[in-house]
Amino acid sequence: MQEKKIPVIIDTDPGVDDAIAIMIAASSGKLDIKGITPVDGNVKYYHTFPNALRLVEFLKLDCPVAKGAETQLEKPCPTTASCHGKTGLGSVELPEPTTPYHEKRAWDFIYDTARDCGGELEIIAIGPLTNIAKLVLEHPDAKDYVKRIICMGGSTEEGNMTPYAEFNFWVDPAAAKVVFESGIPIVLAGLNVTLKTGISFRFIDQLCERAGASPYAKALKEFVSSYSDTHDNKEGEHASVVHDATAVMYAVDPEGCTTERCHIEIKVDEEQYGRSYPTYDDPSSYNTTVITDLDMRRYEQLYLNMMDYFNSFGE
Ligand code: RIB
Ligand code: CA
């Protein structure tokens, strides 16, 4: 009997690794994507919002896009992430979108969808947490309807914006603090796992060769070649760090991930601004399941499935 698909909303700041993560989510066969909610982050909202529409149309996703926050919860952050290129999708140029945005703003769309899903909705959050914080602040009973948040962000080790802070949490630490204090169960895909589990360029070349001339293989190759966030992975290979896909890996194949429980506190003081600080001494306080490792062959299988899925669309 076919397993029931998991209802999810993907909250995102597309973003090259966001785009690849959405491709994997769409092709996994495990997720029922109820919507995409873009947020200001990697690039400004006037790029992330239409990028979300472009991706939904390019990937033939049958789901709405509900506009999220155009600025951060308390302190606007003008910094963007240069590794995604000027428009946020690297060198990939997708047609101007024609689909209208959903009538509701992201936080209201997520709340209404969570209620419609009877408490089964999961949020895959792969950008700054501004939209999710606004969900919690504007709908105090959201925790009764959101099953869990699988979040790419933070780190239990080093940061990538400061020695302590990772980009998504550094852009909007006030929002991250609201979310981690909300009582909604959180699974964290932080830099401590994403930096060591990048996809090797060797594997990507194999993948794209096998995919042939499909526009999706071309897009994947261009996404990766124009995205400059690279790091040797735990197998010693030069790799593209597709941070956000790690959160999707947990959503579709949790058995392929290794985890530990802890309490995460989001720091907002000047020195540790945006730090996700883990403590382990009081199990009754644990609010987060941290992904500490993943099985690279099972992770690579998601990319293989993704290419096969999109190649079935033809050229
Ligand atoms: O630090 C990596 C995170 O910041 C990823 O979500 C990437 O897309 C950027 O948003
Ligand atoms: Ca992102």
pLDDT of residue 224: 87
Query: Tens digit of pLDDT for each residue in 16-67?
Result: 999 999 999 999 999 999 999 999 999 999 999 999 999 999 999 999 999 9
Mean pLDDT of 196-208: 93
Q: How confident is the model at residue 214 (pLDDT cuts 50, 70, 90)?
A: confident
Residue 87 CA to ligand 1 center (angstroms) comes to: 15
Residue 250 CA to ligand 1 center (angstroms) comes to: 16
pLDDT of residue 315: 67
pLDDT of residue 210: 77
| Percentage, residues of the chain above pLDDT 70 | 99
Query: Tens digit of pLDDT for each residue in 28-39?
Result: 999 999 999 999
Ligand 1 contact via 233 beta carbon (within 6 Å): no
pLDDT of residue 36: 98
Q: Is the pLDDT confidence value at 208 over 90?
A: no
Residue 3 CA to ligand 1 center (angstroms) comes to: 31
Mean pLDDT of 233-255: 98
pLDDT of residue 46: 97
Query: Tens digit of pLDDT for each residue in 129-187?
Result: 999 999 999 999 999 999 999 999 999 999 999 999 999 999 999 999 999 999 999 99
pLDDT of residue 158: 95
Three-state helix/strand/coil letters over the chain: CCCCCEEEEEEECCCHHHHHHHHHHHHCCCEEEEEEEECCCCCCHHHHHHHHHHHHHHCCCCCCECCCCCCCCCCCCCCCCHHHCCCCCCCCCCCCCCCCCCCCCHHHHHHHHHHHCCCCEEEEECCCCHHHHHHHHHCHHHHHCEEEEEEECCCCCCCCCCCCCCHHHHHCHHHHHHHHCCCCCEEEECHHHHCCCCEEHHHHHHHHHHHCCCHHHHHHHHHHHCCCCEEECCCCCEEECCHHHHHHHHHHCHHHEEEEEEEEEECCCCCCCCCEEEECCCHHHCCEEEEEEECHHHHHHHHHHHHHHHHCCCC
**Quick one: 6-314 is in which CATH superfamily?**
Ribonucleoside hydrolase-like (3.90.245.10)
Query: Tens digit of pLDDT for each residue in 288-315?
Result: 999 999 999 999 999 999 999 998 887 6
Ligand 1 contact via 51 beta carbon (within 6 Å): no
pLDDT, averaged across the chain: 95
Residue 243 annotated to the active site: yes
Q: Looking at 47, 84, 139, 243, which residue is catalytic?
A: 243
| Percentage, residues of the chain above pLDDT 90 | 88
Q: How confident is the model at residue 192 (pLDDT cuts 50, 70, 90)?
A: very high
Q: Is the pTM of this model over 0.85?
A: yes
pLDDT of residue 280: 98
Ligand 1 contact via 68 beta carbon (within 6 Å): no
Which residues make up the environment of ion ligand 2, defined by Cβ < 5 Å?
13, 15, 18, 126-127, 244
